[in-house]
Structure 1
């Protein structure tokens, strides 16, 4: 992919991410205000979940600014690990927030069931805000997913599904708050129950955000299916014999591949080099031009 196409790709990614950024910022503020004014723990929890989308937008924007910097003397394989580290920090912070909301919600349920205390009934502003959030985040999900698929960006596609998770949590909030309002004073407990559901969404989102990045920092190899596909590509290159010692890992969005191959003893260095070029071309056609491939060429044993 040439520089012009890469710039267009980055421009489209930044555009949709900035749209999501401001939508999430506005939704977070509205939900927080509605949760406070409407006395809804579930809505406050939903506001925190929107904040998770907001922070994910920041990660995507940073990644397209920093990761596109060329490798330098301190970062020979590029700057992809910065995105990885930031993602882990955000995931840990979100998980702690989710635990806090879970604790608060369980405490409120304890007050109602065990201590027989009454909770203040949530206001209509909270249920209206939940409905607004459901519609807005579903539309944002569809728009972001479309752009992500067009530019083939895993980060943008992941961000789209993050919007969808927020839409789902708003459904739980809407049902919990709406049930508490419609069913009367004896059902205020539905609001903290909905908050528990949302807190679980937040912690799951935090886990999903963090686990892949943690594996990447620990230099975990690519999955078995991807490794098998890489070997199949190499095996189908003419005059390649017995590809072996495959090692793979990720640096940000880049894939790094180390492989040993055998070639006929009669080939000269120019012919062997052409085989390596063909391997690189075919692999990059599948996994992108940023893929880093190190090939160790050995003569085939008699």
Structure 2
């Protein structure tokens, strides 16, 4: 099994675990929200339902991004995975907006004299269960996403944690309404508003990263400096320049010009580039795309641009 196929299967496995957990948790939350007369818990169940949708997005796009290069995609299909992370970010923003809107509506109704219903103990239990399950899912998924260098899996992990944050706010609101009496029932929507801003923050960070990849943003300066150090590890390689870097899904692309002694034969120069490619792929992964242009050390000015 090649590395691309292994990576795809690992992404499928991690995401499928999350999908099954979300399916069971969503059903439990809906039941607890209805039986426990908790609008906040029903909203939390809708949030978990959105997690199921993003699980499906990751599964679909992981299969596409794992496809090998073809005539129409010289750099592979990795950007499909970046697109998936952007879609998940947008889903997070939509969920946060929904929670914010519903919370403001609830606060307005209380200020207008309406009384929010007292939630049942089953809603409290469901909130605690949701926090535990979603935090465990986050840790399991984000660890796998970083190991597989998958932006969409990492984005999906943060969606799990956003649900844990949402359930934490729900627990605080339900707890106040359940234990402290009628006047404290407004704590439920207030806590939900705070949670919605956490969700927005996570979503915007993920969206900024995804858009940066689609717009061919260069790798961080410290990463580029490390690349240059690897390129010039052999003293025969001099003056690296015209470095261009970008991320393509889980892989990176590196283009660089180097200078060598103009009297060096082609076979020796080729051997240097092969060794540079080996070092770069050993550091950044076998899928790293490397293009190296060789120039004579004392090339005329017009050739050194």
TM over 0.5: yes
- Residues 194-205 of structure 1 aligned to structure 2 (within 5 Å): 194-205=191-202
Q: Structure 1 residue 92: deviation in Å? A: 2.0
- Structure 1 Cα separation of the partners of residues 93 and 151 of structure 2: 23
Tell me, yes or no, if the aligned pair for 2:158 and 2:202 is still in contact at 8 Å. Answer: no
The superposition leaves residues 101-159 of structure 1 with CA deviations (integer Å, 9 ceiling, x where unpaired) of 2122112212223x232222222221111111122223333444554566565654554
Paired residue for 1:28?
A: 26
- Residues 101-140 of structure 1 aligned to structure 2 (within 5 Å): 101-113=99-111, 115-140=112-137
- Residues 8-23 of structure 1 aligned to structure 2 (within 5 Å): 8-23=6-21
- Structure 2 Cα separation of the partners of residues 29 and 43 of structure 1: 11
- Structure 1 Cα separation of the partners of residues 241 and 50 of structure 2: 42
Q: Structure 1 residue 19: deviation in Å? A: 0.9
Paired residue for 2:303?
A: none
Gaps (5+ residues) in structure 1? none
- Structure 2 Cα separation of the partners of residues 199 and 227 of structure 1: 36
Q: Structure 1 residue 166: deviation in Å? A: 2.8
More displaced, 36-45 or 80-89? 36-45
- Structure 1 Cα separation of the partners of residues 220 and 114 of structure 2: 52
Paired residue for 1:279?
A: 276
- Structure 2 Cα separation of the partners of residues 48 and 198 of structure 1: 15
Tell me, yes or no, if the aligned pair for 1:263 and 1:299 is still in contact at 8 Å. Answer: yes
- Residues 1-302 of structure 1 aligned to structure 2 (within 5 Å): 3-113=1-111, 115-145=112-142, 147-148=144-145, 155-301=152-298
- Structure 1 Cα separation of the partners of residues 82 and 153 of structure 2: 15
**CA distance change for structure 1 residues 21 and 237 in 2, over 3 Å: closer, same or farther?**
farther
3-state secondary structure, aligned to 2:202: helix
The superposition leaves residues 7-36 of structure 1 with CA deviations (integer Å, 9 ceiling, x where unpaired) of 444333322221111101221232234334
Gaps (5+ residues) in structure 2? 300-305
**CA distance change for structure 1 residues 223 and 97 in 2, over 3 Å: closer, same or farther?**
same
What's the Cα RMSD here?
A: 2.3
- Structure 1 Cα separation of the partners of residues 78 and 4 of structure 2: 16
- Structure 1 Cα separation of the partners of residues 144 and 207 of structure 2: 24
Relative contact order, higher structure (CA 8 A, sep 6+): 1
- Structure 1 Cα separation of the partners of residues 191 and 32 of structure 2: 16
3-state secondary structure, aligned to 1:242: strand
- Structure 1 Cα separation of the partners of residues 115 and 259 of structure 2: 76
More displaced, 66-75 or 164-173? 164-173
Q: How many equivalent pairs are there?
A: 299
**CA distance change for structure 1 residues 207 and 160 in 2, over 3 Å: closer, same or farther?**
same
- Structure 2 Cα separation of the partners of residues 122 and 171 of structure 1: 15
**CA distance change for structure 1 residues 154 and 213 in 2, over 3 Å: closer, same or farther?**
closer
- Structure 1 Cα separation of the partners of residues 157 and 92 of structure 2: 18
Q: Structure 1 residue 87: deviation in Å? A: 2.6
